[in-house]
Structure 1
């Protein structure tokens, strides 16, 4: 018994109530999560967080709390993803690199939320977009591929580094079904482009987004509208690129004009193409790997920043797909 480490105590002073609420989480869910991960006991008393743990647990707990400081210190909500990302960085010796996530604020949303990469792979993705003319991002739903690209695009537009934004995606299912939808062609394809509008509204607000769309500063259009054009002085985002054919991908990549940047995003496991048709995204990731000026970024289930259940769903389907015989790619679930 004498050899057991005795519990030790420490405390963290929080600057204000918003920081305390952010660190604790709703119903103190973050404190309970940290307790489960570290074995420490955490009690919030006003603006003082009291930690009771064995020495090795204490150090681990204090380090995790410090890694999360950029979020709670500003009253920003802390999610399960944030905690898991910090823990993974700590366990892989990348805690110092993780701390810099808090310094990489890209923008502030209309609701006042500070927008920044939340995992190390997201950080690498943002840095790739900032330093390359063409970035290809592959990863499951919810990893922030399109949203982070849109955040960076809007920032570059506000800084006048580009003159316009062009956001496009293939309307794969449109081939047979558009004729049954009401309205003109733009109204028919709008449902396929809604996720791009949603990202713009979160960043700019609906009123400013509409004004920029009317002026042509922002263009949201189906991929078919890109043929024959040269996209100069623009930030171009091709979303859902797994649903492009190889010919479509080559077409849109060669639209890139002077002083332009392009980001191509998609999830190779979520195909809506007909059986036997190769995805232009998968081919591009292979063909362009190592080409100067091109970055290929891979995000994983660990980077999912939606509801925590989404990460578990992505993992479950990935395990199912790994058990399948090597046949055609998995269709969209």
Structure 2
């Protein structure tokens, strides 16, 4: 059965439009550009520090001065957004997580430093308590249970501290109920009407986060798992309900996390809501590609580019990826 308006073979030969690079480019349906990239980076204390993350080959924890250099590199490459994640000194981690809204915590210092340097790049933050928690969870833990409403109050304070530090895009990754509405109300009342919320709306309880937890120092602290607040990997309709809720509460953009194992969710979200939709190519996805490439099992550069193009095909407007600088250089023809 032929497609409507499509002649049967041999009048239709699909290979005609694959015969040269020029023709393939002409008919390509989806493209990847530098403007699609958000670069996640890890901030640590110290000065002049670039410390490799063992489980993420090529990724560094950087001190604030080196984060400024990274932001300048990203801006020069045309990457529009850099996203900050703190590697907090274990001595500052408590069960009450006060460091999360400390005006001088690592993320806030890094944001101000980037802004003070006059770098033409948007700065995104992470809102969750796990980098500051002695328990390694995204929320407060009381009698072994992650409590919701008290956590939301703390997350609002954290978001306010970030807005005051000049963050352009606040990224709540905690998956507590009601936090988007609470943050939007706070931002409006405090005069931050232009501060954006990119909600981690459909964040799954995934095995692909392991290297990230190493990078932010949360692995050792984590007690139990996050299945009472992060999504069940078997669910899809729930993701749509979460997206709808967050949009109704004031989210400007939404995210699906992880990325490649959840492309079906990205497509359903984009088709249903037609809003700015993002995915996070998480640490485990990155580490698998890098490990296979380093072992000579795959062509790492081709796998990198293909993996990111698939997000665009699934409907994403952009991707958080640790590959961002390498991809930008490839797209610009640089080495």
Do both proteins adopt the same fold according to a TM-score greater than 0.5, normalized to the shorter chain?
no
Scaled by the length of structure 2, the TM-score of the pair is 0.30
Scaled by the length of structure 1, the TM-score of the pair is 0.30
Larger Rg over CA atoms: 1
